[in-house]
């Protein structure tokens, strides 16, 4: 069974640029959630996709957007990058997004540095 994978591992961008991060969910999972983990802090929920539809969003501006594809993989796009966007971005997949006890399985993350 393949776990959650993310690409790239590391990324360096400059302010104002745009970035796309990718996530492949665990086999059989139809829900993907994205989290931002700033240095020294806990992860913060960005948004969740369930069967290709956005299924909830945290307190992040519209320049954070996402997609989920028919194979349930997902992308996180961030436009107009700011220095504060520097963080570890974590993707997590689960069997379904409606059950609050469903376990989320996390990928290793993408480390984004904005200069």
Q: Kindly tell me which residue out of 20, 30, 44, 73 binds other proteins, with binding defined by CB under 8 A.
A: 44
- Does residue 27 bind other proteins (CB under 8 A)? no
Kindly state the smallest distance separating residue 88's Cβ from other proteins, in Å. 9
Check if the beta carbon of residue 89 is closer than 8 Å to that of residue 76.
yes
Q: What is the Cα–Cα distance from 7 to 21, expressed in whole angstroms? A: 6
Residue 104 makes CB contacts below 8 A (sequence gap 6+) with 33, 92, 93, 94
Q: Give the nearer residue to other proteins in terms of CB position, either 10 or 15.
A: 10
> Residue numbers of the site for other proteins (CB under 8 A)?
4, 31, 33, 35, 40-45, 48, 55-56, 58, 90, 92, 94, 96-109
């Amino acid at each position: 069974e393949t776990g959650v994978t993310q690409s790239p591992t590391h990324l360096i961008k400059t302010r104002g640029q745009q970035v796309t991060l990718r996530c492949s969910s665990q086999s059989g999972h139809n829900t993907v959630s994205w989290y931002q983990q700033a240095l020294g802090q806990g992860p913060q929920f960005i948004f969740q996709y369930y069967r290709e539809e956005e299924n909830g969003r945290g307190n992040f501006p519209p320049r954070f957007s996402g997609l989920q594809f028919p194979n349930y993989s997902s992308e996180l796009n961030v436009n107009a990058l700011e220095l504060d966007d520097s963080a570890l971005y974590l993707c997590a997949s689960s069997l379904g997004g409606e059950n609050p006890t469903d376990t989320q399985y996390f990928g290793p993350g993408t480390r984004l540095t904005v200069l």
